[in-house]
Amino acid sequence: MLMFPYIALIFVTWASSLLSRKNIFRYLLFFVPTLLIVGFRYEVGFDWPVYSSQFYQFQNIPFLDFLSQIFIFSALYSHEPLFLLTSYSMARVFPDFEYFQFIAYLFFLFSVFRLGKVLGSRNIIAAMVPIHLFLLFTLEFSTLRQSIAISFYNLGLAFFLANKNAKGVWLFVAAVASQSSTAIYVLVQLWTTSTKRWSKLAIVACLILAVFLSAGGLEWIPVNMLPGFLGQKLNYYFYERGYNYSLTEQAFFLALFLAISYVLYRSRPALDRRVRFLANLVIFLCLFAIMAFWVNTIRNRIMYEVIIVSSLIAYGPHFRLQKLLRLLLLGAGLLFFSVSLTKQSSFVYVPYQNFIWYKLNGLQSNGLDRQDRLRQRLIN
């Protein structure tokens, strides 16, 4: 019963994908539960306390004072300037942080549907099933800044595929200015564009480099010599942050990235230009994820985009191994979703809390208690 809203969300998303595209109930069945459950989540997930406290702090700061201190806030929160400006704007418009979460999630859905439309995906709602299975508790529920940045990036990718490069570039800049880790997507995209004729050699080079890095580690990378903000970020992820490694989890993602890459690589000759480009992008993203495999944060952030694009391809224009890709994403996604609901830290989103329901009924959230419990668990 505690997990019912999440299971119901997956079920209605799948059920709505089976209806005709001309049936208006298809879109009501998809959008209403999704926007209510995900868009109006209430103090569940991992990162909301930081974003929430920042939101309410910004409500009391005049605009000129905010602008004069934006780089101070950037250093204080380790957040990029465009995200801070977005958070400030939302704080000056809406009384509660949950409305900001709702707008951000609506933006995320818009970006996925826009990219899927340009790609020629025949059933974007069906593509949302594996996206939910993998990303519901991570990108959709927790990493607000990453969600906004990925939305900018996917809109830029849609313009890029539509040969509107200037608009695409501005959206890529907005993505990096919202969350610097999306620079990985942009760099891999540039590499994908510049290695069309040498893709096989590039893949081999990536694999050799991945083996070398796995054996030698990251100590030789001079992160402290990089520009301030970038060096600070990489130093945190590479050296300062501690990781609890799960051999099973590492093996799962390694097998997933290799399997997706294999299916897309084998399918490339039968794909049209746009889908082939995105397939190459996913393959190279998977290889980059393998190179930084022991840094869970980087691996996960690459995984977000891999799952989104792979899911849209799986339900896009028909190709020979398309059903295999769907089965791979759905099977692995169901396993990942099931484990997420039952792992030790699942108490941060189980049971579910809804902002509208809690406000209408005057209920008290236990979100801060969950965060204290999580903090104690991390300390121990």
What is the DSSP annotation of 174-235? HHHHH-GGGHHHHHHHHHHHHTSTTHHHHHHHHHHHHHHHHHH-STTS-GGGS-HHHHHHHH
pLDDT of residue 217: 46
Residue with tokens 């899911």: 311
Q: How far apart are CA 11 and CA 267, in angstroms?
A: 29
Nearest-5° angle of CA 240, CA 140, CA 332? 85
User: How many CA within 13 A on the CB side of residue 11?
Assistant: 6
Query: What per-residue confidence (pLDDT) applies to 22?
Result: 87
pLDDT of residue 78: 86
Check residue 148 and give its pLDDT. Answer: 97
Q: Which two tokens stand for residue 132?
A: 């939910």
Largest CA distance in the chain: 62
CA neighbours within 13 Å on the CB side: how many for 105?
Answer: 27
Name which of 148, 223, 178, 152 is nearest 77 in CA terms: 178
Per-residue confidence (pLDDT) for residue 1, from 0 to 100: 60
For residue 187, the model assigns a pLDDT of 84
| Distance between CA atoms of residues 144 and 217, nearest Å | 30
Place of tokens 């945190």: 236
203-254 tens-digit pLDDT: 556 655 654 554 444 444 554 554 554 555 555 444 444 445 577 888 899 9
Instruction: Report pLDDT for 192.
Output: 80
Helix (H) or strand (E) holding 89: helix 81-93
CB atoms within 10 A of CB 179: 23
How many domains is the chain partitioned into structurally? 1
SS3 142: coil
For residues 183 and 179, what is the distance between their CA atoms, to the nearest angstrom?
8
Say how many CA atoms lie within 13 Å of 281 toward its Cβ: 25
Phi-psi region of 217 (alpha: psi -120 to 50; beta: other; left: phi over 0): left
Rounded (5°) CA angle 33-38-43: 135
Predicted pLDDT of residue 77: 87
Tell me: cis bond preceding 227? Omega within 30 of 0 counts. no
Residue 100, CB half-sphere, CA atoms under 13 Å: how many?
A: 29
pLDDT tens digits in sequence order for the chain, 380 residues long: 678 999 999 999 999 999 998 899 999 999 999 999 999 999 999 989 999 999 999 999 999 999 999 989 888 888 999 999 999 999 999 999 999 999 999 999 999 999 999 998 889 999 999 999 999 999 999 999 999 999 999 999 999 999 998 999 999 999 999 998 898 898 888 878 775 555 556 655 665 565 455 444 444 455 455 455 455 555 544 444 444 557 788 889 999 999 999 999 999 887 888 999 999 999 989 988 887 776 788 889 999 999 999 999 999 998 889 999 999 999 999 999 999 999 888 999 999 999 999 999 999 999 999 999 888 887 77
- Length of the chain, in residues: 380
pTM of the model: 0.88
The CA-atom distances, in angstroms, between 303 and each of 32, 139, 208, 323 are 27, 10, 21, 21
For residue 358, what are the contacts with CB-CB under 8 A and spacing of at least 6?
42, 364, 365
Q: Which of 334, 195, 333, 324 is nearest to 259 (CA)?
A: 324
- Token pair in block for residue 178: 């919202």
Q: Which residue segment(s) compose the domain that 69 sits in?
A: 4-379
Measure the CA–CA gap between 312 and 309, rounded to whole angstroms: 5
Instruction: Kindly report whether the peptide bond that precedes residue 351 is cis, defined as omega within 30 degrees of 0.
Output: yes
CB 255 within 8 A of CB 316: no
